[in-house]
A and B are shown apart, each in its own frame.
Chain A
Amino acid sequence: MVENRDVNDSIQAIPTHQIVELKGFRDGLRLMIDASASIEEIRVSVKERMANLGDSLAGTSIVIDTGGQELAAPDLEHLKSLIFETYGLEIVTDPESPAPTPDIQEDKQQKAKKEDLKSTKPNAAAAADSQSDVDRIIPTKRKTKPTAKAEATTPLLTDLPNREATHVIRYSLRSGQVERFFEGTLILFGDVNPGAEVIAGGDIVVLGRLRGLAHAGALGNTSAIIMAMNLTPTQLRIGHLITRPPSTGIRWSKPQPEIARVENDNIVVEPFNGF
């Protein structure tokens, strides 16, 4: 955990006053809205949050989550049309309608509410995921209920994004197959063949040959990395950046692990010799 924090500290330090938050889950994206803000504020925040995503998310589905708070029906409609028309995202109804959690007291501060929202949602998503054929490693810390006041007020808030799930895939991906997780690190034991895609909100590690397309930090996180035992992709994407290998590529005579990360707004690939 300590090591993780070091690596990711700067990644997603989300200011606590944020009105709109975009998080990725297995079933798609979730736009978390603080409904106590005015519709105008929400609208501006949505635009701000989505502006730097480019069109990388077009066609995916999104859930609008007000964390159990009421949002006036016309306002909701307005938001839906804004998101759909501007960003090409499909709005789906929330599968698990968020009911207000009973243990939230009205007099608790906004911060505590946020904390609760953040920690419970991934758990719900994880539960829904349990039937899938993809294993998930969920750090034990995640399972602790955030009801305890101590948990909610500890300075752990900034490293919350670190406690994301890890998705483990134990097969190769063939052309046309896509594995997409908007949350957490994706580890694949196998190859990603040309024409296959791996997309993750966090890092991507391929313990095999990566010959297809990989998109790490798919929600705009440019500190995500892509690593593979043999990195010969058709295209690499980290956050909003896209790169492809040079057509007359320099290839190592012997395949070796390589790592791709962002340096000065460029994706650089280099041999991996440990951190």
Chain B
Amino acid sequence: MGKVIVITSGKGGVGKSTSVANIGTALAMLGKSVVVVDADIGLRNLDIIMGLESRVVYNSMDVIDGSCELEKALVTDRRVENLKLLAASQRNNKTDVQPEQMKDVCLKLRETHDYVLIDSPAGIEQGFENASSAAEAALIVTTPDVSAVRDADRIIGLLQAKEVSDLQLIINRFAPNMVKKGDMLNQYDVLDVLSIKLIGIVPEDPSIVGSSNRGLPLIYDATSEAAGAYKRIARRLDGQDVPVPEFKAIGWFSNMFGKLFGLD
């Protein structure tokens, strides 16, 4: 019996799908059997980010209306065998699925997998209702922006009202240099407002764009700091005790010396 976790944010574009792809892959690399479910019906993205677009034959809509067996609709990842994707329908609309139907699918997936990660759409409407219907835990993704934090706060309130109490926070696109200049909230400001448990901070990484476009989750890039952060989040999610490192601002001086002497 696995665990159903919804990854949500309220605000769009903060990195929900990226987080699902990377954490899902990292968990699978830890040897867990993982299904990632794209709940963004009508605007499916997760298959592209994971590089599985061309392999999708059936989607969750086909499973719900009974035209396909659940097992058959799961797409196996190209690299990690125990990672599966249940794609969303691009033709349908969020209102075509009821929370109960989504819940049934997720609970069935839970029986045969260790982790069911649900990629929630942005917003607080039916798409979110569908995505969170079966969730027993939630990862809230936010960027250190006032507006993203505000929306995350709203989502947390809604999840708590639905009695999802296992809530953990991912601070994404964290830029220590901007924090140092005072242009960005630091993690303490964010946690001060949201007051839930922090599961990880993912530093800003420009290569995330390329990796999403190529359909190759960043996690395979061993040199990426963001990849390391996602790997640590996956391990924490799996119950390991991994400390959150302090991300320090890099000035030109330390940057040069770092490059010269291989310091980090």
- Asked whether B154 lies within 8 Å of A195 as measured between CB atoms, the reply is yes
Does B193 make an interface contact (CB < 8 A)? yes
Interface of B is mostly: helix
- Interface size class of chain A, counting residues whose CB lies under 8 Å from the partner chain: 10 to 19
A194 and B158 CA atoms in complex are apart in Å by 15
Does B77 make an interface contact (CB < 8 A)? no
Interface string of A187-217 (1 = CB under 8 A from B): 0000101110000000000000001000000
- Asked whether A194 lies within 8 Å of B193 as measured between CB atoms, the reply is yes
Interface string of B147-161 (1 = CB under 8 A from A): 000110110111010
Among A174, A176, A193, A195, the one with the most B-chain Cβ atoms within 10 Å of its Cβ is A174
- Asked whether B195 lies within 8 Å of A175 as measured between CB atoms, the reply is no
172-221 of chain B: CB within 8 A of chain A: 193, 195
**Minimum C-beta distance from A74 to chain B (A):** 43
Among B146, B151, B153, the one with the most A-chain Cβ atoms within 10 Å of its Cβ is B153
**Minimum C-beta distance from B142 to chain A (A):** 12
Interface string of A241-259 (1 = CB under 8 A from B): 0000000000000000000
- Asked whether B195 lies within 8 Å of A194 as measured between CB atoms, the reply is no
Does A61 make an interface contact (CB < 8 A)? no
Residue in B closest to A174 when the chains form the complex, CB atoms: B157
A173 surroundings in chain B (CB, below 8 A): 157
167-187 of chain A: CB within 8 A of chain B: 172-177
- Asked whether B193 lies within 8 Å of A176 as measured between CB atoms, the reply is no
Contact of B150 (CB < 8 Å), options: A172, A177, A195 = A195
B195 surroundings in chain A (CB, below 8 A): 172, 191
A193 surroundings in chain B (CB, below 8 A): 153, 193
Among A175, A176, A194, the one with the most B-chain Cβ atoms within 10 Å of its Cβ is A175
Contact of B154 (CB < 8 Å), options: A175, A191, A211 = A175
What would be 19 A-B contacts, judged by CB atoms less than 8 Å apart?
A172-B195, A173-B157, A174-B153, A174-B157, A174-B160, A175-B151, A175-B153, A175-B157, A176-B154, A176-B157, A176-B158, A191-B195, A193-B153, A193-B193, A194-B153, A194-B193, A195-B150, A195-B153, A211-B193
A-B residue pairs, 6 tightest by C-beta: A174-B157, A175-B153, A175-B154, A176-B154, A174-B153, A175-B150
Other A-B pairs, 6, CB within 8 Å; known A172-B195, A195-B153, A211-B193: A173-B157, A174-B157, A175-B150, A175-B153, A175-B154, A193-B153
